[in-house]
Structure 1
Amino acid sequence: MTSVGHLETNYSVCRDLALQAANANCRMLFLPECFSLLGDHHSVSIEKAESLDGPAMARYTALAKELGIWLSLGGFQETGPDKDHIYNTHVIVSDKGEIVAKYRKIHLFNVDIPGGPMLLESRFTAAGEELVTCDAPVGRLGLTVCYDLRFPELYQKLRFEHGADILLIPSAFTKPTGEAHWEVLLRARAVECQCYVIAAAQAGKHNDKRESYGHSMIIDPWGAIVAKLEDPLATGIAVADVDLGYVNRLRATMPIEGHREMGLKALSGMRQ
């Protein structure tokens, strides 16, 4: 999707996507970072931020209950610890309309991109401090947001210490960084963790200052892309089946979890 600076417009698009997913008999829909709002200045995010029990989130929980579908809301402007900062919060909503998990983005995007914008997320966003997983009809989810993708140790912990089957990476990747790194990093996280990766992405021009790379995709634990939009900048859904039996068979055939534990013990001994 291509979010803009208007809550009503974005909700209308999200509702349409949820209807498409429900009509396709999907159990769960995954929306990108900034699904509800992407303004032309960080002050818009601060001004529109709400608590998770506020009216903005209530519309999405009601939507999930109405359609009987789980929602991954990839990055919501949650009221932060002070008046100058928000949390960038990934929220999981059940088909009963209940919030079952929330993850506040840990790694904040502070970069000056050659040929692109200078973005200082920490100027208006406070970092989270907790890893989050939760169980859903499609498997055990590991929650992250966008820039987290560049930090593999986060995904290693979600997989090997918290039992994730599916890694969620909702994003609003910039065009320059997306062209260079988006797909290769997503496929790497899938392969090294032997997990499905679901990467819902913002796409296209949001305003005069901001453009996102798009290319939403679903990747299986062997690193194969199993679903993506035919038009990588289009608004729409890509649908795939998650086969947890395949995950388990692959992990049994190539037991990297045990090999990893042996490697960590060896490295620990070397440090001593």
Structure 2
Amino acid sequence: MPRYKLTIAYDGTEFCGWQKQEPPDPDDPTRRTTLRTVQGVVEEAVRDVLREDVVVMGASRTDSGVHALGQVAAFTSEPIEDKGIGWPESRGTDSLVKALNSKLPRDVLITGAEVVPHDFNPIGGAAEKEYTYTIECGPVRPLWDRAYVFHTWYELDLANMQQAAAAMVGEHDFAAFAQINHGRTTTVRTIFGCRVERAQAGHGAVRFVVRVSGSGFLYNMVRIIAGTLMEVGRGKIAPDAIGGIIESKDRRNAGPTLPPQGLRLEWIRYDTNDS
């Protein structure tokens, strides 16, 4: 029974997030409706190719409108070769990638596949994740790539944002950077890296990429970090105030939750013996 790890990229614009959802039909509460999710379309493609009722487990439950370059998912196959069921290791992972991509819509792409140990857990085994959030500032709002950046009219101070970002690094109680009713038993998280990079955009605009890596994140945590750093950049929050905001554990002291379109899951790292 081989277990496969998939690396998946997707444009989250037209998805209701990663996780499968079947809420009650608003017109008929006795029935349920299936929303379009990344997990749903990937699982459908895997089942179609393998002719097997597998369950695809994803590492990160990205929200509606959030993108991914390096989402990770896994499934286990039970091949019955004489019936053409499943995917035996002998068929190779390159062929698996091609077969799955032939079944997927154009806003999802499997970028890699590998055989992993039977106990590989894409959620619990993740050692580090990195997200980026892209902010564009300038006199003209973006048009063609508006689904991938957040636009602000304000000019932002890169040096102040970088100073504030550095204060996020370390193990802290990030209650001030989590959505109320986040549902987690603890709000303590470890941030391994947090920095802001400047990137040139067209039409005279400037882009700032907030890059955050950590062992795990609270609900909306990266979007709140990005919103707080934006407020620092425009002078509404002092760059040396981050430590106090963290210590306060009060959501009202941090910046706004920025919209989902600027957020992208870049990669997920696993310890060697887990992947």
Alignment TM-score > 0.5, same fold: no
Structure with bigger helix share is 1
The TM-score range, normalised by the shorter chain, is under 0.3
TM-score in terms of structure 2 length? 0.26
- The structure number with the bigger radius of gyration is 2
Structure with bigger strand share is 2
